[in-house]
Structure 1
Amino acid sequence: MLARFFALLCVALSVVASPTARATPKSFAGANLYYAAGLSTSEQNTLFSAMKSANMKVLRVWLDGQSTATTKGTTITSYNDLEPNTVGTYDDTVLNLLDAVMVNAHSYGIKLLISMHSWNALSRPDIYGQWYGTGYFYEQTQPQQYFDNRLRHILNHVHTTLNKPWHQLSQYIFAFEAENEAMIGKGSDYIAAHQQWQCDRATTIKSVLGSNSGILVVTGGESWLSESVQPNWFSCAAIDVISIHAYGNGDLVQSAITPYVQQAQNAGKKLLFEEWGACYFNTANNNCPSGTALSTSARNSNIQSFASAITGAGVPWLYWQVLPNADPHYGSDYEIGVTDPSWSALKSAAQTAATSNAAFDFSAYLL
């Protein structure tokens, strides 16, 4: 009997000491490119091969139409908004283009985070902005019902080569978000007063995905750290991940991020630093329209410092933005092209993230 007791004790101790049982999740990095749907196959390959070399795992893309043939110095295929002229009448060109992008991304070990609308389009205005403006869109029942139909249309889009709806493509899609920076132009008080809009849209998305889809539902971020992390979102069952967008130096320090990490862990939610960037100019980092170019060493130092703070807090991140071409340095310039002098600094930061401990386990959702 005593021998059996010691044998069982040894088994129990071996389980406790097992590296698998005690393994700490690792972080990851990725990038944004809002017009990725318009990239040629060659441009996609340039972008994805560079991202793979940096061990980047996620590319965040948008569905808003692009009417210019050159964007951020990238030659693209133009495409319409998903609902170009009438709410509820869809032009699936952008969805079909992203079908090809997601298959190619997958071959490089990269998944897509799909933003299904943006404040930028609403305020442009797109058809929702034309019909409802930037107030009624978030306030009235009818536009919310129409917008939920849009979300369902996207989720049920049948992939043109995989012959499955997007909501079943967990091997290709990391997450969905209803809208990039919802309500951002209305101010922080408005966002705080209309937190339910985000939860309601997440509930619509989750109702199609189901509870075990392998695809996350994220919020889409706001202007800065505290605005991005609204308290009611911690208690919304349909929200899996709260997205942080922040560009101010005060937000891009580990001590500012850590309290939100603890809140998310306590609530059973995850955080993703979905947008951040290092300004190319010598202006304030969150006010980057123009100015004198920073030296490469100064900008690289900022990239490394900001990335280190986010990674050190245990939060994975996506950079705004990585281009498949040299950055033309237009206004509000955070972009880094894969041939730019600062790409090596961003690449190194992403590689460091991939080997660093994380506060949240995203491993089931990555390739």
Structure 2
Amino acid sequence: MFASTASKSVFGLCAFALLLSAQVAQAGNSFAGSSLYYAAGLYEDDRTTLLKGMQSAGLKVLRVWLDGQSSSQKGTKLNPFNELEPKTPCNGDASCYDDTVLERLDDFMVAANSYGVKLLITMHSFNALGNPDAYGKKYGKGDFYSNNEAQTAFDARLEHILNHNHTSLSKPWKELKDYVFAFEAENEAMIGNGESFVKAHQQWQCDRAGTIKGQLGNDSGILVTTGGESWLSESVQPGFLSCDALDVISIHAYGTGDLATSALKPYVAQAQAAGKMLMVEEWGACYFDTSNNDCPKGDALDADTRSGNIINWAEQIDNAGLPWLYWQVLPNADPHGDYDYEIAMDGSDAAAWSALQQAAKSAANATAAFDFSAYLL
């Protein structure tokens, strides 16, 4: 009996060592990125400023949206573009789509690649439903997620985007692993309907991921992500973790408690156990002296305090083993409008931009809980 127990103990130790070795082998350095939801509308000079700034900071991924823009945003002058489906859900009718936004991003992704940046492409947003766009007008914010006709039409949109033939590379987007980091069906799907609605409709997210993965295949070199929710616990749903088609669960979090290492680590463990990757896809440091997750207006926070917040919260995310995308960096002066987390690259936010550069370079040297290296330039 003693010999048998000892043998089992030795075997157990060996197995643990092999598991630990495998986990270490899977780990790689982390990374940082940013978002600019209206990137498709940038004029060339602002695009160059943005990408040069990202390269100088070591920001590796830029998250962009496909929502149409008719006017300037966040002080950035834009070349307007229509919604992909300007009037009605197109249901796969090629003549119905306005591909201007896709063609603008064709140019953008080539330029981004030359600066070592890949795009994370958000194929729709909950925000657009509320504008309302073609889907919001026809189905509203609730039926969009439960109506079978709406889901069929939206899947046709996703397939149209994935099969868009790049105007200069002559390949569909679904084959552009050197330019695209990931696709996600929607930014913050369902958030305006409440957490109980999100929990009750988790399958919507998995079904849309299945549509995307069905076009990409399993060896595309491009990830499928969720697009996040309102906060940490809402962003990581059990149905997302068990969904075969999802590669990455995206966390959106602005509450400082959600950015703590101790708060993030249990979710890292859940993702590892499920064979998924995790990233903090949206976070930011409020410009105002109000609560960080309720930042509509207020007095400007002391620049040193804000810089310290950026470095501190980024470090906490790093220490949890997670890469992150900041919301968001601008190629122009920040007008400091409502809910201002933005950081300008033009010198007007010098302290905050310096802090973000420092944080991004630290992220690149931090050990990640998941190895994203195959998906980065």
Fold conserved (TM > 0.5)?
A: yes
Residue deviations 1:312-355 (CA, integer Å, cap 9, x gap): 10000000000001111010000001122210000100000001
Structure 1 unaligned residues grouped into runs of 5+:
1-17
2:158 alignment counterpart: 151
User: What residue identity is the alignment partner of 1:216?
Assistant: L
Alignment of 1:140-289 (within 5 A): 140-289=147-296
> What is the aligned partner in structure 1 of residue 57 from structure 2?
54
| 1:329 matched residue in structure 2 | 336
Partner of 1:66 in structure 2? 69
Instruction: Name the counterpart of 2:143.
Output: 136
What is the aligned partner in structure 1 of residue 86 from structure 2?
Answer: 84
Distance of 2:151 and 2:26 partners within structure 1: 43
Spell out, residue by residue over 1:274-300, the C-alpha distance to the aligned partner (whole angstroms, 9 max, x if none).
000000000000000000000100101
Distance in 2 between residues matched to 1:362 and 1:201, nearest whole Å: 22
- CA positional deviation for 1:232: 1.1
| 8 Å contact from structure 2 (residues 26, 371) kept in 1 | no
**Residue 12 of structure 1 corresponds to which residue in structure 2?**
none
The equivalent residue for 2:373 is 363
- Deviation of 1:22 after TM superposition, in Å, equals 4.8
Which residue is 2:15 aligned to?
Answer: none
Using the alignment, how far apart are the partners of 1:331 and 1:24 within structure 2? Answer: 39
Q: Using the alignment, how far apart are the partners of 1:329 and 1:22 within structure 2?
A: 44
- In the alignment, which of 356, 359, 363 is matched to residue 353 of structure 1? 363
2:33 to 30, 40, 48: 30
| Unpaired runs of at least 5, structure 2 | 1-20, 91-95
1:109 counterpart (113, 116, 122): 116
Tell me by how many angstroms 1:181 deviates: 0.2
Q: Any idea what SS the aligned residue of 2:132 has?
A: coil
Runs (4 or more) in structure 1 with deviation over 2 Å come to: 21-24
The Cα offsets for residues 125-148 of structure 1, whole Å up to 9 and x where unpaired, read as 101000000111000100000000
| Partner Cα separation in structure 2 for residue 292 and residue 326 of structure 1 | 18
Alignment TM-score, normalising by the size of structure 2:
0.91
- Give the Cα–Cα distance (whole angstroms) in 1 for the partners of residues 296 and 25 of structure 2: 47
Q: Alignment identity in percent?
A: 63
Partner SS for 1:98: helix
In the other structure, the counterpart of 2:14 is none
1:304 maps to a residue whose letter is I
Once the two structures are superposed, what CA deviation does each residue of 1:139-191 show, in whole Å capped at 9, x if it has no partner?
Answer: 01000000000000000000000000000000000000000000000000000
How many angstroms apart in 2 are the aligned matches of 1:310 and 1:217?
Answer: 21
Q: Which amino acid aligns with 1:62?
A: W
Distance 2:361 2:157 in 1: 37
The separation in 1 between residues aligned to 2:219 and 2:74, in whole angstroms, is 38
SS at match of 2:107: helix
Q: 1:305 Cα shift?
A: 1.2
2:257 aligned counterpart, secondary structure = coil
Q: Please state how far the C-alpha of 1:24 moved relative to its aligned partner.
A: 3.9
Q: Distance in 1 between matches of 2:336 and 2:82?
A: 26
Partner of 1:344: 354
2:343 corresponds to 1:297: no
Q: Does 1:97 align with 2:104?
A: yes
Distance 1:208 1:308 in 2: 37
Residue number in structure 2 paired with 1:14: none
Q: Deviations over 1:11-58 (max 9, x none)?
A: xxxxxxx9xx95840000000000000111111110111111111100
CA deviation map 1:175-211 (0-9, x unaligned): 0000000000000000000000000000000000000
